[in-house]
Structure 1
């Protein structure tokens, strides 16, 4: 049995599929993965013995700026990506029994699976990406924000935007494969039976007519890597610090500096993750420390709080560690959704965005570090599941058999 996995995006998009790949291989399934050609993804997959089919331009290069590309450039990138997928996916799917795609950007995946006569599964990492009257669509960069207030109307407008962006291009490629046209691109990609790879405590799905969602739990792997010796020395030298990091995202230039200043002013030590934004500290203080790529599963349990951008992976890792969170979401994808979940569960604080003032940051840290917040975060951490990728792998194997 062979399965093709496909996604495009930052590490937060790739790592969950890596976890699924590992669990599938444990069940004897051969796996290849379509993913961006960034060196770190290629090395990660090579180390696990998973075949990489590089698709699209390197993501890290696209994330260099602190602002998003223009609407026109985004539209061009999206259209070009559809063509790139239709060029790459048929050969990648050859000999496969199933195709699992993660992310709405996988416009070509279902059509290629349909043409090859193999099973297709769409997976989302957050409930907010699936249409439901219980929540509004996530922010979609480059598309105008609808003025409606009710969620049903917002989702209808969202489908219209997706059709306007991809409809003509998708149906042109489908015609070349002798497939019939589709009249709702978004719902075609999602299907009416998508999988939700999110923790049911942290990000539950609320029943919605027309969608039969299978929630597997978040997809991740245990990380046994030790922390670097210099980081261990910093952690041992004082009270638990506050972590500040934005992963693959590039926040506004001064949000990290303002956060560090406020944390230090409240008497806490700070650990800054450089991330793709290459954040660093320049004052040389012994109560600050900067790190590169480290094991967050081992690290977060030793933090007083975790400040981050609201990525699905960071949110669930911090929640599992039982540590309070301060989420400074970029207005992008599922970041605001996860910020809202942290606030709703009362395990931390969600700020409106990266322009938060020093006063708001000060209040946020005081709230997050309060004993009650810490107690709630610890209690919730014990309820977070760790078997989502294994559950999904078993489901897929059963379906393919």
Structure 2
């Protein structure tokens, strides 16, 4: 059995697919990953022996400019990604039995699976973007809804219209070229009636958050047994546990002057700092011996040895810190990050910073909560409740779905193309 796993997004979108690919391999299934050709992702997949098929432009080329991408950038990127999926996935999935897609609205993936007659699965790492009568849709490029509109049914209908504006013309042009009829609701066509949710139920309970029949597998964790760098080991052993500060792939989105603010806030709490350079290229503000800079590192090992984790609230970092039992301070910037910040606060395993741009005082106050012994105790308790076998659960489901026969949905029957 062979499966193709595809995404276009940041490391938080790619690493879970690596975890699933490893779990599939352990069950005798060959898996390949079709993802952006960023060097970091190629290195990650090579480390675990999973083939990478390059898809579209690098993510860094899109998000790492001096300013965040604009609406115009989004409308240029969307048809480019649709075309890349029809071209690249069609070739990569020729001998596969299933195609699993995630990341930035993977319009084109289901269509390739449909043409090839193989199973299709849509996976999310959070519930943002899944229609719900109980919640408003997240922000999306395009014509905004009226500020005074409160009917969630109307808001989600308008969200679907924005997705159509981004992807509809390109998707239906490529469908026509391979003999497939048009779809009139791209979002629901991509999602299917029964998407998978690769998130832990403790951190992200799906009940009540979406109207769709979600299959929740747990987070797809990639085991990491790499030792920490010798210089980092020396720093960790030279004093009390430091605070980790990192904003991952938040290049142009990272708060202005966040390294200075974070270092000074940690010093105000009497804590040393491990500063993750990340895509924002964070750097120390002086030569103080209380700050150590790291690049790509084994977070699973590092987070078990820090006093707290200050981060942007990506699904991957939030889960990694939670599994490690590390208290968190989440400074959310975009997309699903406000949800993870709120969830960390609700669970009592850390603090949600109010607003995107922290000050020394505001971050110091949040650290006071995270560094409280009661928060550490609660984080340890929650860590014990998080399942770590989500990738294996998903791998077994995927194998079972292929064995059950059928061509489009992974588990159960999905709506036909164009349903609302």
Per the alignment, in what secondary structure is the counterpart of residue 289 of structure 1?
A: strand
Q: Which residue of 2 aligns with 1:306?
A: 309
- Displacement after TM superposition at 1:389 (Å): 0.4
Residue of structure 2 in register with 1:216 after alignment: 217
Matching of residues 290-329 of structure 1 within 5 Å: 290-329=293-332
Q: Where do 5+ consecutive residues of structure 1 fail to align?
A: none
Q: What aligned pairs does 1:32-71 form with structure 2 within 5 A after superposition?
A: 32-71=32-71
User: Following TM superposition, by how much is the alpha carbon of 1:116 offset from its aligned partner in structure 2, in angstroms?
Assistant: 0.7
For residue 304 of structure 2, give the secondary structure of its aligned residue in structure 1.
helix
Q: What TM-score comes out, normalization by structure 1 length?
A: 0.95
Aligned length in residues:
400
| Alignment match, 1:16 | 16
- 203-212 vs 215-224, which deviates more? 203-212
Kindly report the root-mean-square deviation, in angstroms, between the aligned alpha carbons of the 2 structures.
Answer: 1.7
Farther off after superposition, 291-300 or 142-151: 142-151
Question: Residues 293-327 of structure 1: CA distance to partner in whole angstroms, max 9, x if unpaired?
Answer: 11111111111110000011100010111111110
- Provide closer, same or farther for how the CA distance between residues 142 and 323 of structure 1 changes in structure 2, counting only shifts above 3 A: farther
Unaligned runs of 5+ in 2: 404-420
**1:255 is aligned to 2:258:** yes
In structure 1, the partner of 2:406 is: none
Query: Which aligned pairs between 1:2-401 and structure 2 lie closer than 5 A?
Result: 2-141=2-141, 144=144, 147=147, 148-207=149-208, 211-250=212-251, 251-330=254-333, 332-401=334-403
Is contact 1:235–1:241 with CA below 8 Å preserved after alignment?
Answer: yes
Once the two structures are superposed, residues 347-374 of structure 1 have per-residue CA deviations (whole angstroms, 9 ceiling, x without a partner) of 1111233322333222211122122222
TM-superposition CA deviations, 1:192-234 (whole Å, max 9, x none): 0100000000111014785221100000122111111111111
Q: Is the 8 A contact 1:104 1:186 kept in 2?
A: no
Q: Rate the CA distance shift 1:143–1:386 in 2: closer, same or farther, 3 A.
A: farther
Query: If the length of structure 2 is used for normalisation, what is the TM-score?
Result: 0.91
Shift of residue 14 of structure 1?
A: 0.3
C-alpha spacing 1:311/1:208, structure 2 compared with 1 (3 Å): closer
| Aligned equivalents of 1:344, 1:158: Cα separation in 2 | 28
1:104 to partner: Cα distance: 4.2
Shift of 1:142: 6.0
Task: State the secondary structure of the residue aligned to 2:128.
Answer: helix
Aligned residue for 1:129, secondary structure, equals: coil
- In the alignment, the residues of structure 2 paired with residue 143 and residue 288 of structure 1 have an alpha-carbon distance, to the nearest angstrom, of 45
For the residue of structure 2 that corresponds to 1:96, the secondary structure is: coil
8 Å Cα contact 1:71/1:143 also seen in 2 = no
SS in 2 for 1:82: helix
Whether the aligned pair in 2 keeps the contact of 1:4 and 1:99 (CA below 8 Å) is yes
Against the structure 1 CA distance between its residues 318 and 154, is the aligned structure 2 distance closer, same or farther, given a 3 Å change threshold?
same
Q: CA deviation at 1:274?
A: 0.7
- SS of the equivalent of 2:275 reads strand
